Homo-oligomer: A and B are copies of this chain.
Amino acid sequence: MNPSKEALTFLLAPVAGGMERMRTILAAQIADASPAVRDMTDHVARFQGKQLRGALVLLTGEATGNSTDEHAAVAAIVELIHLATLVHDDILDGAEVRRRVACVNQRWDNQVAVLLGDFLYARAFALSTQLSSRLCSRLLAETTRTLCVGEIEQSTRRYDFEMGQETYEAIAAAKTASLYAAACELGARYPGGNDELGARMARAGRNLGLAFQIIDDCLDLTGEQETVGKSVGTDVEDGKITLPVLFAYREADERVRAAVRDAYTRPGLADRRSALRAACDLSHGLERAQARASELVEEARSEIARLPESDARRSLDAAVTFVLARNQ
């Protein structure tokens, strides 16, 4: 059973008004007076998913008794930054361009995606400078830097089968979990309240984001495109060695290891994910990765359990659990 978007909407009932305001702000920010930019909003709209990061700002705000009139705008800014990263993830490298667009005239797609992502980042920062407090600008500028550094670090670790779990988690914390942490911290602290509660919620957000990334990495190995809602097997294609593979590789003998490396690197291989699944038994690595994700979710939940009892706290707890449920 895969929890549907409708189920998530139900979970978010305590912040339904805030989500609606967030979506209104987002729509206004994504639109632009320039017709050329307006033509691209469809392109961006198709990336809009569950808006979990924005929801976390609102839920954490409610659950910590820290909701302000500006929380919806903060949530919209967090979502804009997330959208910008998704648009930039779409940039193709040379190899992919050669592989995918041989017959299609996608001549300008890369530049357009870069500019559109930059536009979304700029919108996010411009909106943040209009808020009454500078906390949002400061925290999210720093978080954006961390996201980029995480992605850059990841690109240098491609095909690194000797990478330890710590390195994997440090990269995932930077490239993914930092925005979850910022969303929860801003929810709890914006416009500049309780530092200690902010730090605790940031930690909960970080653990949740890390769990999200691990589950995402598992789904890339096991999921089907129709269920997951995006291309699968791309990590294997791109040489990204994820936690389940690291676990499986570490336990394998040299013959199996060679077969795994071969699945990632042999030139011209059409379906690397199938080759990887044939090369080794991933089930134990997947189990261990999922266990690690559960552990992280439990850490986040125990932080949330310290908050006073409320509808928002229950929703926050359910939203956190939802991240794990994606894989069932």
Residues of A within 8 A of B (CB): 32, 34, 36-37, 39-40, 88, 91-95, 97-98, 101, 106-112, 114-119, 121-123, 125-126, 128-130, 134, 137-138, 141-142, 144-145, 147-149, 151-153, 155-156, 158
Partner of A111, one of B112, B126, B155: B155
On chain B, the residues within 8 Å of A147 by CB distance are: 118, 122
Q: Inside 8 A of A97's CB, which chain B residues have their CB?
A: 94, 97-98
A118 touches B94 (CB 8 A): no
**Residue from B93, B94, B115 within 8 A of A151 (CB atoms):** B115
Specify which chain B residues have a CB less than 8 angstroms from the CB of A112 in the assembled complex. 152, 155
* Cα distance A79–B253 in the bound complex, in angstroms: 52
Which of A91, A92, A129 has its CB near the most chain B CB atoms (within 10 A)? A129
Given the known A-B contacts A125-B141, A148-B122, are A153 and B36 also in contact in the complex, defined by CB atoms under 8 Å? yes
Do residues B145 and A122 form an inter-chain contact, with CB atoms below 8 A? yes
Neighbouring B residues of A158 by C-beta, 8 Å: 108
What's the minimum C-beta distance from A240 to chain B, rounded to whole angstroms? 12
Q: How far is B110's CA from A202's CA once the two chains are assembled, in angstroms?
A: 32
Q: How far is the CA of A95 from the CA of B117 in the complex (A)?
A: 21
Choose among B88, B93, B115, B116 the residue that contacts A109 (Cβ–Cβ < 8 A).
Answer: B93
Sample (28) of A-B pairs whose CB atoms are under 8 Å apart: A34-B153, A36-B152, A37-B152, A40-B152, A91-B110, A91-B111, A91-B114, A92-B94, A92-B110, A93-B109, A93-B111, A94-B101, A94-B107, A94-B110, A112-B155, A114-B114, A116-B152, A118-B121, A119-B145, A121-B144, A122-B141, A122-B142, A122-B147, A125-B125, A126-B144, A126-B145, A128-B141, A129-B134
Q: A115-B151, A122-B144 are in contact. List 13 more A-B contacts (CB 8 A).
A: A34-B149, A36-B153, A88-B115, A91-B114, A95-B107, A97-B97, A111-B155, A112-B152, A114-B114, A118-B147, A119-B152, A126-B142, A129-B138
Chain B residues with CB below 8 A from A110, complex form: 91-94, 110
Residues on the B chain within 8 Å of A155, using CB? 36, 108, 111-112, 115
Q: How far is the CA of A91 from the CA of B90 in the complex (A)?
A: 13
Q: Complex: how many Å from CA A128 to CA B118?
A: 17
Expressed in whole angstroms, the minimum distance between the Cβ of A291 and any Cβ of chain B is: 29
- Whether B114 and A37, one on each chain, are in contact in the complex, defined by CB atoms closer than 8 angstroms, is no
